[in-house]
Amino acid sequence: MRFSVVFTALAFLLPRSAFAQTPWPPYDPSPAFTIGYIQGATWNNQSDVLSGGTLTINNQEFIIPRNLLVNTPALTAVAWGELFNGDTINLPLWPEVAWEAQIFANYIGGQYIAGIVYIFQELGNGGQGFISAIDYEKGELRVGGNPNEPNSGVRVVINDPVGRYGLVHGDWPIWTADTDAPSITASTGFPVCIPRTDPAVEDDPLCPKKNRPLDTSGRPVSGFTFGAPPVREGQPDPHLFVPLAVGDHIIFAGTLVKDPDSDERIIAAYEIDANLGIYTAPGTVPAYLIITEALQAGIDGNQRGEIQETRVEGYTTDETATIEIYAIDVDPCTGEESERIWGSVVPRALERRGQWRFRSESTRLPPYTREVVARIATGTRVTANGVVAGEFVAPYPPDGYIFPELIVFGDTQLPHEFDKLPFLAQGSGPWLGGIPGVPEAETGPIVGQLDPWPGVTRPAPIQCPEVNPLVPVADAGADFTVLSGARVTLVGGLKNNVDLSGVEFAWTQTGGDSVILDTAAGINATFTAPTVTSLAALTFTFQASNDAGSSTDEVVVNVNPAIADAITIETVDWKSGGGSGILTVRARTNSPVSQLFVSASTIARVPMNPIGNQRFEALISIRPAPGSITVSSSLGASVTIPVPDSMVIGPLDEGNNSTETASATAVESTDSTSTSVSAESAETSTAA
């Protein structure tokens, strides 16, 4: 009793702050990045595939917002509901085998709310070794075994529900290999396969033994270069995949699953990297490329944090290729994709054969998207195996989004700025599914903003108009420019997934000098551009209709006189760094409808990125720097200028008027449907 009185008295004497409760949390919101084992998961509404739920990791519960699409090892976007079988999360062999999740979240108002989620089996279940045996009847590899004991070693099948790389294995649809952007490849990016039949008995036409030449001792070679197409009978064909063989060394990653035909455990691989040096003839089509895991987006956010550089890296089978890098923007209402060029890259001459690295700290790269695409400038081709050679689409890997990192230790931590990612803040259009082997739906719910919002400031949600999903949404394409007298094709299409067989199309001219449309009742239409003395605009309306309804879209064709524009070079700058070098070219044109391009002896002609006020910029990763570059335009102008190690010859902004100028003249052809243009440089002028 006495102690109670004493402590009560002390309480009145001591400062109140000594007993005041510390506010909790000390500040709100705060970032929450977690990697850990999955202990449980819930799905809020089994009648709504986009509904969220919860995910428990290391005794910590995270809220999964509605519209959050999960990344699995080889698939970009899986709806939360697709991971469930009833009210149970459907992870192969879980909880017998541990599964992990990597979560970017924020702690807001006492809750952990996720923004980005990756799910994969423990440690990715990777391995490497020599292929010791191949069971062609099962489409199965034995890796790391004894070749004299065909049943020894790790059992590996390619998790391929469409049979892209061999026999179909489709029992684990969410954890499949990527069947569009090949994830079963040689190290150079050339796709590889497991023959569907024993080559000693019957050849597989899509995985032919001719694509695996033998050395003088009769063993398959581990590296070769395809000859240039066209291919002679019996010669290796770059249009077809290369078969794996016993003795190949591979690195694999996959999911440990139960063999459908027994109680044994096997690896269902979603990725294989075969140590094969397979290349294609320089400058030919098809050529292949791959984006490696060195894919990183330096989110341009809070300036209290350090902003990381953006990287896209990979390999190509054409060591001379120029590779264009694009972000893939997605319309939040229609899901229509459009590409936004970031820059270009040329494989490094003195490093690994075919390796390329694009790196940039440019503030013009955002907004960052869910996927990027790398494309070889010489062209693409759909192969007999069903992939697009010369193009590779990749999602960001688990460590791909690099949010600003705190500069001053002790400052309040920086919440993850999910509002910088449009596919989270705005949405990504109708959900039609996307699991390989499962047909896409014709209609689906709109993937909207994450709800509840996991960020600091909730962006205003996009209000999408209600439309009948069965009505074709017309797409007349982007506005473009032609020269007087040119033969012009209007190319139509649809922005949504509607059966074309029941759709009727019609083109009509609604503005400008009258022209005659040769095929106005088809999806495409052609005409001859009129002869003009000044810039003229022709407007066309494209209509698509079926039994459900119709829609229209408009395109403007700008007709320029047969006079090329003038190009002004502002900046040519090459800087070494990061194991490569960045060539920056900025230029302007005096035409509001011209597109500028850049090229060099080691760089294919690639488009420059418009940055406003008829100015363009190109970022090209290349080492060493080319001796000179050429900037040309869609209207025919061209100028070539040398590239010292580092040179700025003109303004970085609008205030400087020191320029290198090129002009061009045009010569009209006698052919009424085309105009040829020649260009010549003018003198250099520097204002005092």
pLDDT at 664 over 50: no
Lowest-confidence pick of 15-19, 138-142, 618-622: 15-19
Q: 678 pLDDT band (50/70/90 cuts)? A: very low
Beta bridge partners of 640: 630
Residue owning tokens 């002679």:
232
Q: Span 462-483, mean pLDDT?
A: 87
In sequence order, what DSSP letters do the residues of 282-302 get, joined into one string?
TT-SS--EEEEEEEEEE----
More confident site: 60 or 124: 60
Q: 100 pLDDT band (50/70/90 cuts)? A: very high
> Which of 9-18, 408-417, 658-667 is predicted most confidently?
408-417
Residues 6+ apart with CB under 8 A from 239: 229, 231, 286, 381, 383, 384, 389
Lowest-confidence pick of 302-316, 376-390, 441-455: 302-316
Cis peptide leading into residue 25 (ω within 30°): yes
The alpha carbon of 298 is separated from its chain's Cα centroid by a whole number of angstroms, namely 15
pLDDT for the residue numbered 432 = 87
More confident site: 213 or 482: 213
pLDDT for the residue numbered 78 = 93
* Strands 580-589 vs 405-406: parallel, antiparallel or unpaired: unpaired
Lowest-confidence pick of 28-32, 431-435, 675-679: 675-679
What pTM was computed for the model? 0.81
> Could you give the 3-state DSSP secondary structure of residue 321?
coil
pLDDT at 18 over 80: no
More confident site: 682 or 209: 209
Q: Span 30-49, mean pLDDT?
A: 96
- Single-letter residue type at 539: T
| Distance separating alpha carbons of residues 605 and 601, to the nearest angstrom | 10
In the chain, the percentage of residues whose pLDDT exceeds 90 is 66
* Strands 628-633 vs 638-642: parallel, antiparallel or unpaired: antiparallel
Q: Which among 246, 238, 193, 196 is positioned nearest to 218, based on CA atoms?
A: 246
pLDDT for the residue numbered 484 = 87
Lowest-confidence pick of 75-84, 142-151, 291-300, 649-658: 649-658
Lowest-confidence pick of 238-252, 405-419, 649-663: 649-663
CATH class of 30-123: mainly beta
> Could you give the 3-state DSSP secondary structure of residue 217?
coil
pLDDT at 648 over 80: no
Q: Span 299-327, mean pLDDT?
A: 89
289-406: which CATH topology? Answer: Immunoglobulin-like (2.60.40)
pLDDT for the residue numbered 577 = 66
> Could you give the 3-state DSSP secondary structure of residue 103?
strand
Two tokens at 224? 């070769």
| Radius of gyration from C-alpha coordinates of the chain | 29
Distances (CA, A) of 392 to 191, 539, 639: 12, 35, 32
Question: What are the start and end residues of each CATH 2.40.50 domain in the chain?
Answer: 30-123
CB 341 within 8 A of CB 362: no
| Distance separating alpha carbons of residues 392 and 182, to the nearest angstrom | 8
**Which CATH number is 567-666+676-681's, of 1.20.1300, 3.40.91, 2.70.98, 2.60.40?**
2.60.40
Beta bridge partners of 127: 252
pLDDT at 449 over 60: yes
In the chain, the percentage of residues whose pLDDT exceeds 70 is 89
Q: Span 344-361, mean pLDDT?
A: 87
pLDDT, the chain, mean: 87
pLDDT at 654 over 60: no
Question: What are the start and end residues of each CATH 2.60.40.10 domain in the chain?
Answer: 474-560
Show the CA angle centred on residue 179, arms to residues 471 and 67, nearest 5°.
Answer: 50
CB atoms within 10 A of CB 97: 15
Two tokens at 284? 């030919």
Lowest-confidence pick of 296-310, 437-451, 626-640: 296-310
| Distance separating alpha carbons of residues 183 and 393, to the nearest angstrom | 11
pLDDT at 465 over 90: no
Beta bridge partners of 664: 679
What's the pLDDT tens digit per position in 588-632? 999 887 899 999 998 999 999 999 999 999 999 888 889 999 999
CB 459 within 8 A of CB 449: yes
- Single-letter residue type at 115: G
Residue owning tokens 């500028």:
596
Two tokens at 424? 């989270």
> Could you give the 3-state DSSP secondary structure of residue 517?
coil
Superfamily of 474-560 according to CATH: Immunoglobulins (2.60.40.10)
> Residue length, the chain?
688
Question: How is residue 191 annotated by DSSP?
Answer: B
Two tokens at 615? 């100015």
Q: Which among 524, 267, 264, 241 is positioned nearest to 389, based on CA atoms?
A: 241
* Strands 480-483 vs 391-395: parallel, antiparallel or unpaired: unpaired
Q: 497 pLDDT band (50/70/90 cuts)? A: confident
